[in-house]
A and B are shown apart, each in its own frame.
Chain A
């Protein structure tokens, strides 16, 4: 790392100081609240009120246990995972099907469908909450296991289709032609030959979808009012009202909402960046 340099001028040191320090400070402010959140959730309430910044004296998992016992956190977690994973599977299959066909074939209505999908990215979803609420009430899926998933899938589709489309543009059609000569049907070519090839972009979609769905708040708040169907972001609001006695309990709940995202982020950081970059550059 450290190349031995001859004594450079003072000016060089000063400019490097002014470049490094602000960014380092920004990085610290970005990482510190997260680190603080995780270690503070391991404290007792008394310890926390005494000094909110100090490290915990002894690791203390009672808050986590209390969150599960007292506040139904287990149910919230289950619902969040259930919604996220089911939405993920559906988004993957639907967006791959749509993305593949829209990218590879030119048929009547293709441009209209693609254009509509892309235009919806600009709609603020809040304009849709009331009508979706009413629609679901009419169909009778309000307040059920399946009230959130259809909305999440539709919300994530345009982005996913766009990513798959731009990924496939860079892949030659030779393999598919070869498969066609060997007599493979279209669905077979799509799902057993091309889907594995698209694995890199599909994993980007998995991560982005998981994060959006895991963190989603507005729809989860409106479409589900039954206690046993609520997701983690909604569950968090309880810790300040119903169970407002303990700060560290809230911190533990916040940490639990963040840890899955943090783990995924640490493992798939590069994929996330790839997805963001692909979305931003091509267009």
Chain B
């Protein structure tokens, strides 16, 4: 460990001033609001006057509202589909990128990662153009390959719209999980692969029996990150459908925004925000249980 000794009092003073000032600021912006958020969720408050303490009344109202369960269902559906899609495809791509026969690896890596750095709202609008029914790229593509019968009203048909909106989200973040998984793969000692090759293990077998178990922890973290990230999905939906048709694609985060800033019901808004947090923690817990092992949070990976 490269640590230094503290020599004198003057230095201690410097250290504490330089650490505590930013840290207190950080507490005020990030930690205290989390506490107040939980407090507001237990009050009835319209944004003016004093909050009136009502206990868990807001949560009871929420549980009794069918719309809440509808948007929760939407969010959970997207959460499952996007996690499977993102991490699943990213895993396949990361495996394929380790194969010697693949050409232009650097190019593929750079291109697949690019959507990650685009703004979610831009991705949403671009995909609205792709899906659009009269001038959309997807429908023109389907016509040009001679399958006009596959044309749908991608964003207006209530039955398929939720699946349609999942695609852009998956598309955008494949690159992120691909890079995380690739970095885990590159951290595996080369000898392991050499031994496996000597024993005659190549190609897909190598990926499944050697690589996969060695990156299991990282895979778990990817799934947790992805699931809890998708729980707060917002921008994509605002740009793509704005929740419509009806509430068919409304997510919990949009519902929270609606309650807080459109209806001015801060208490309910806070309750919805806290339920997002609870759902995210629950999901992380369930994934922990399903995939086994002790949690080791590897930090520094955040949705770009």
Chain A interface (Cβ within 8 Å of chain B)? 15-16, 19-20, 22-24, 26-27, 29-31, 33-34, 36-37, 48-49, 51-53, 94, 97-98, 101-107, 113, 116-118, 120-132, 134-135, 150-151, 153-155, 157-159, 162-163, 166, 168-173, 176-177, 180, 185-187, 208, 211-212, 214-215, 217-218, 221-222, 232-233, 236-237, 240, 247, 250-251, 254, 257-258, 261-262, 265, 269, 272-273, 276-283
> B40's contact among A121, A131, A237, A269, by CB below 8 Å, is which?
A131
Task: Choose the segment among B28-36, B65-73, B148-156, B191-199 that binds chain A (4+ C-beta atoms closer than 8 Å).
Answer: B28-36
Q: List 21 A-B contacts (CB under 8 A).
A: A27-B112, A31-B114, A97-B18, A98-B18, A113-B19, A117-B23, A121-B302, A122-B297, A123-B277, A129-B273, A130-B273, A135-B36, A208-B304, A217-B121, A240-B125, A247-B129, A257-B122, A258-B118, A265-B117, A273-B179, A276-B176
Q: Mark B77-111, 1 if CB is under 8 A from A, else 0.
A: 00000000000010011001101011100011111
Q: What's the minimum C-beta distance from A40 to chain B, rounded to whole angstroms?
A: 8
Closest chain-A Cβ to B249's Cβ sits at a distance in Å of 16
Most chain A beta carbons < 10 A, residue from B22, B218, B257, B280? B22
User: CB-CB < 8 A to B187: which residues of A?
Assistant: 281
Partner of A98, one of B23, B261, B300: B23
Question: A212 — which chain B residues lie within 8 A by C-beta?
Answer: 304
User: Contact: B4 with A104, CB < 8 Å?
Assistant: yes
Tell whether A15 pairs with B274 under 8 Å between CB atoms, given A135-B33, A214-B119, A218-B234: no
B173 to chain A, nearest CB (A): 11
- Extra contacts, 16 of them, besides A33-B126, A101-B15, A101-B18 (Cβ < 8 A), are A19-B101, A24-B108, A48-B135, A107-B12, A116-B23, A124-B277, A126-B234, A128-B34, A154-B29, A173-B3, A221-B257, A261-B119, A265-B114, A277-B179, A279-B300, A281-B184
Expressed in whole angstroms, the Cα–Cα distance for A234 and B280 within the complex equals 26
Please measure, in the bound complex, the distance between the C-alpha atom of A131 and the C-alpha atom of B28, giving whole angstroms.
Answer: 11
| Contact status B23-A113, CB under 8 Å | yes
Say yes or no: is B171 at the interface (Cβ < 8 Å to chain A).
Answer: yes
Q: For B30, B179, B187, which residue has the most chain A Cβ atoms within 10 angstroms?
A: B30
Set of chain A residues within 8 Å of B174, measured between Cβ atoms: 26, 30
Please pick, from B1, B32, B37, B232, the residue contacting A169 in the complex, using a CB distance under 8 A. Answer: B1
A283 to B295, CA, bound (A): 12
Instruction: State the total of A-B contacts with C-beta under 8 angstroms.
Output: 281
Q: Which B residues are in CB contact (< 8 Å) with A261?
A: 117-119
**Are A162 and B110 neighbours in the complex by a CB distance under 8 Å?**
no
When the two chains form their complex, are residues B19 and A29 in contact, meaning their CB atoms are under 8 A apart? Answer: no
B58 CB within 8 Å of chain A: no
Find chain A residues with CB under 8 A from B11 CB: 186
Quick one: which of B6, B30, B234, B261 contacts A154, CB cutoff 8 A?
B30
Pair B117/A105 contact, Cβ less than 8 Å: no
**Which residue from chain A places its CB closest to the CB of B89 in the assembled complex?**
A26
Determine the chain A residues whose CB is within 8 A of the CB of B92 once the complex forms.
22
CA distance A247 to B174 in the complex (A): 28
Contact of B299 with A by CB under 8 A: yes
Complex Cα distance A225/B122, Å?
20
Task: Given A105-B15, A107-B12, check contact A98 B22 (CB 8 Å).
Answer: yes
Q: Within the complex, which residue of A97, A265, A269 is in contact with B22, where a contact is CB–CB below 8 Å? A: A97
Which residues of A sit under 8 angstroms from B4, Cβ to Cβ? 104-105, 173, 176-177
**Docked complex Cα distance between A260 and B16 (Å):** 39
Judging by beta carbons under 8 Å apart, are A107 and B30 in contact? no
Are B276 and A126 in contact (CB-based, < 8 A)? yes
Most B-side CB within 10 Å, residue of A30, A176, A277: A30
A131 with B277: CB separation less than 8 A: no
A162 lies within 8 A of B121 (CB):
no
CA distance A150 to B102 in the complex (A): 45
Q: Which residues of A contact B109 (CB under 8 A)?
A: 273
Tell me if B9 is interfacial: C-beta within 8 Å of chain A.
no
Contact indicator A23/B304 (Cβ below 8 Å)? no
